[in-house]
Amino acid sequence: MGGSLNANHLLFLGHGALWTIGLSLIAFAGGGIAAFIIALCRISPNRAVRIVTAGYVQLIQGTPLLVIMFLSYFGLSAIGFSISPLAAAGASLTVYVSAYLGEIWRGCIQAVPKPQWEAAEGLALTKAERMTKVILPQAIRIATPPTVGFMVQIIKNTSLASVVGFVELARAGQIINNSLFEPFLTYSVIAVIYFALCYPISRLSRRLERRSGLPRIKPVTA
Amino acid sequence: MTKHMLFATAIAVGVATMATTGARADLLDDIMAAKKIRIATDLAIPPSGMMDGSMKPTGSDVETAQLLAKDWGLELEFIQTTGATRIPNVQTNKADIIISTLSVTPERAKVIDFSKPYAALQSVVGCLKAVQVKDWPDLKGKTIAVSRGTTQDTALTNMKDRELTLARFDDDATMVTAAVSGQADCMATSATIVNQVGVKNPARPFEPKVLITTFDLAIGIRKGEPRLVEKLNEWVSANLKNGKLNEIYKKFHGSELPAAMLQ
């Protein structure tokens, strides 16, 4: 107990930060792919598909991420599936991100004004062309700010992985704090690291919005 | 001994009911065959589990675990755990045993087995030296800081007729900071932590005032491993007798183990 913050502590925090980054990347990659599928299913013409995915989204959004992690790590082991902490945390984050991001993206796709859909149909584009050439390019622009906002939130949510034994940034800080008893100092350092991780992403989003080269959507009055 | 305790306990009971079905090989044989023992220890509860200046695990539980591994000729792997996930870790075979300030309570005994106690933890209410507190009635109207979900929290919460006011903090470090910075004049925790406040802020020395209870700390093992429990009991008895466990305890807690334990 006691002592002061030294290079070893910072190294330990750095190691924790790497895990935070790693978990975030898994969440973005896995969750992004799943979310895209969810978003498309949510606007599917097939009613059954829409209902099933809506149920999935409701179920996941209604469950704390902490519980999902706990169940996938300890719950699955209890019924005989052995699962590593990385797999449990990665899978939980993927499931969690897919439900939220899927819903965000569905909204963004549907926010593309109706005349755009009708015009695309009027040009005799196939369903796939209509999506990829007309709707999605416009939806991406709408989706950028909420997606980035959610990504930043996910970076911070990875701290919940400590429940499955991960020593990521927040847990690393907690361990150090409990050996130094210097919460102000320790948590300030952690806050700075989190900020350093999140701020560039927010900046990048601004640039993407400005430079995407896509025309701004103007409301079309019929 | 952290947040999410209630929730974790609920899940743990659920997990336990699922986990008790199905036969397994003997855990002791598995450990010996692997030449490695996986011990769940929370490294954020000083002075039992913590990190030293070079970020190596240290503390009374850490040294106890190291002594056990050395005596049995096994490689030691610490399984990172939080207070709330100690028990699920052994129930689901992520760790072989728990050495992590695990107090023996009847609720826990329903879901895991305990070895003989290897140490004891004195829970006290400590206050500023200048505060006049002799017994429970003196604490009425004073705010007592506790770490959320700890045995002290449970004990004080259950004392409804004593009209105590509790302020719950996330862990020991934040609780100590509350005491150091003047947010709380009393705290319920182990005697060791109470004395730590004066070290951090010499202007606000704390001392233990009222004893809550003394908890036996034991090694936790999943249910249905009688051979391992027996072997651990032998080890605990031997090391209490030869004074090694007392030495470790004294080094980190600054006091001897209760004399009754050492026989």
CB contact under 8 A, B11 and A9: no
pLDDT of residue A193: 95
Tens of pLDDT, residue by residue over A99-147, are 999 999 999 999 999 999 999 999 999 989 999 999 999 999 899 989 9
Q: What percent of chain B has pLDDT over 70?
A: 90
DSSP class of residue A218 equals -
Mean pLDDT of B214-220: 93
Distance CA B232, CA A163 (A): 28
B150's CB contacts (< 8 A; 6+ apart) are B1, B5, B83, B189
Tens of pLDDT, residue by residue over A58-88, are 999 999 999 999 999 998 888 878 888 899 9
With bands split at pLDDT 50, 70 and 90, how would you rate the model's confidence at B1? very low
Q: Residue A179: list chain B partners with CB under 8 A.
A: 44, 46, 50-52
CB contact under 8 A, B177 and A181: yes
CB contact under 8 A, A78 and B91: yes
Ranges of each domain in chain A: 7-211
CB B22 within 8 A of CB A80: yes
B contact residues 71-130, partner A, Cβ 8 Å cutoff: 79-82, 84-85, 88-89, 91-94
Least confident of B25-34, B112-121, B192-201: B192-201
How far the first Cα of chain A sits from its last, in Å, is: 71
- Rg of chain B (C-alpha set): 19
Say which of B18, B54, B80 has its CB closest to residue A165. B80
Distance CA A108, CA B226 (A): 59
- Phi, psi dihedral angles at A113 (to 5 degrees): -55, 145
CB B90 within 8 A of CB B223: no
**B188, pLDDT greater than 50:** yes
Distance CA B82, CA A85 (A): 14
Q: What is the CATH number of domain A7-211?
A: 1.10.3720.10
Which tokens is B247 given?
């030495």
Say which of A1, A80, A162 has its CB closest to residue B82. A162
CB contact under 8 A, A175 and B15: no
CA distances from A198 to A54, A67, A155 (A): 30, 25, 7
CB contact under 8 A, B8 and A78: no
Distance CA A132, CA A191 (A): 40
Q: Residue A167: list chain B partners with CB under 8 A.
A: 80
What are the CB-based long-range contacts (under 8 Å, 24+) for A134-138? Answer: A135/A109, A136/A109, A137/A214, A138/A112, A138/A214, A138/A217
Q: Which of B159, B160, B158, B163 is nearest to B143 (CA)?
A: B163
Residue B132 touches chain A, beta carbons under 8 Å = no
CB contact under 8 A, A74 and B92: yes
Mean pLDDT of B198-216: 87
Interface ipTM above 0.90 = no
Q: Which of A162, A143, A163 is nearest to A209 (CA)?
A: A143
pLDDT of residue A24: 96
Q: Which of A2, A105, A59, A153 is nearest to B176 (CA)?
A: A2
Q: Which residue has the tokens 């939980």?
A: A92
Distance CA B109, CA B227 (A): 17
pTM: predicted TM-score of the whole model, two decimal places: 0.78
pLDDT of residue B202: 84
C-beta neighbour count of A36 within 10 angstroms: 15
Distance CA B13, CA B18 (A): 9
Q: Residue A184: list chain B partners with CB under 8 A.
A: 177
> Does domain B122-213 bear CATH number 3.10.450.50?
no
Q: At what angle do helices A169-180 and A183-211 cross, to 10 degrees?
A: 160
Tens of pLDDT, residue by residue over A158-193, are 999 988 888 899 999 988 888 887 888 899 999 999
Ranges of each domain in chain B: 5-120+217-262, 122-213
Distance CA A39, CA A44 (A): 9
DSSP class of residue B59 equals S
Chain pair A-B, CB pairs under 8 angstroms: 101
B88's CB contacts (< 8 A; 6+ apart) are A70, A74, B8, B11, B12, B15, B94
pLDDT of residue B222: 95
Least confident of B3-7, B176-180, B214-218, B237-241: B3-7
Q: Which of B81, B92, B75, B87 is nearest to B32 (CA)?
A: B75
Residue B41 touches chain A, beta carbons under 8 Å = no
CB contact under 8 A, B93 and A77: yes
Q: What is the mean pLDDT of chain A?
A: 89
CATH class (in words) of the domain with range B5-120+217-262:
alpha beta
Distance CA B137, CA B79 (A): 43
**B208, pLDDT greater than 70:** yes
pLDDT of residue A107: 95
Q: Which residue has the tokens 């050996």?
A: A179
Q: Which of B46, B51, B53 is nearest to A5 (CA)?
A: B53
Tens of pLDDT, residue by residue over B43-78, are 988 889 998 888 899 999 999 999 999 999 999 999
Beta-bridge partner residues of B97? B39, B221
B122-213 has the same fold as B5-120+217-262: yes
Chain A residues within 8 A (CB-CB) of chain B?
1-3, 6, 8-9, 11-12, 66-67, 70-71, 73-75, 77-80, 162-167, 171, 174-181, 183-184
Q: Residue A162: list chain B partners with CB under 8 A.
A: 82
Say which of A70, A78, A165 has its CB closest to residue B18. A78
**B22, pLDDT greater than 50:** no
Tens of pLDDT, residue by residue over B92-120, are 999 999 999 998 988 899 999 999 999 99
The more confident residue out of B123 and A218 is B123
pLDDT of residue A110: 95
